[in-house]
Chain A
């Protein structure tokens, strides 16, 4: 098991193509956090995010033969989860419960003293609230850009949106967040 967990992505893909069960376990283990977090960012609901994560991996398994092994898995898998989330949003099964789960999600963002933790939490809460005003699509774009370091081209691959439009969308989303956060910045 230790062998497979340290194997490089190319070898993992090769083994998955051979339907190697251990390799599939490893693939799921590696990509569950990415898949779940995108789904949660887009759907704002833990149950829906978990369901969509499961659906995503089944889809990954079904369409694995179409994956171009010369590329990396993260954008390809992100594309699948992104589209699964859009489907879910369309089906309007998403309960618009802007739950207080947010507070559970805010982990200790810093290892500094208790005062700065409180301050960081407040900033995070303000940011989270402002993020909820954005579309699910824009939240996904920001998440992939800033938490996963996706390039504009990769974001284009994931969402099917032209690169120039992605730049504009991100710029607008950031401007909106700045405007929402500005009063908070000024207070400090």
Chain B
């Protein structure tokens, strides 16, 4: 029964019980077992919420920022895409060929 109360207490605090189940649990809270289960669940939650925060190393964010800025700089230096660059050259070459083919002596005058 204590196990049941423990699960009910957790579900109650998580809001997983229906209205009917919640009322039933609230009534059961007058019994010692249910009250103890509820109290334990509450204390544990409180402890987990109050668990002290791990200290973040002082300069960690600055160090990470430097690294991210380096990566950003690399990104900027990189050509947008090799594919785009090659395609550009090919198209430029083709345009020269086409120009050549369409060249007529009268264009000279």
Contact = CB atoms under 8 A, between A and B. Distances in A.
B61 A147 contact: no
Given A19-B75, A28-B65, A57-B67, A36 B43 contact: no
B51 A32 contact: no
A185 B56 contact: no
Given A61-B71, A107-B52, A174-B44, A36 B60 contact: yes
A141 B10 CA distance: 16
B44 A24 contact: no
B32 interface: no
A181 interface: yes
A177 B44 contact: yes
Contact of A28 (B41, B44, B51, B64): B64
Interface residues of B, number: 32
A37 B53 contact: yes
B56 A178 contact: no
A178 B40 CA distance: 7
A147 B68 contact: no
A188 to B, nearest CB: 10
A143 B6 CA distance: 21
A53 B60 contact: yes
A33 B56 contact: yes
B50 interface: yes
B45 interface: yes
A16 to B, nearest CB: 10
Given A46-B57, A61-B72, A146-B49, 18 more contacts: A24-B65, A24-B68, A28-B61, A29-B61, A32-B64, A36-B54, A36-B57, A50-B60, A54-B67, A127-B51, A147-B48, A147-B51, A147-B53, A174-B41, A177-B44, A177-B48, A181-B47, A185-B43
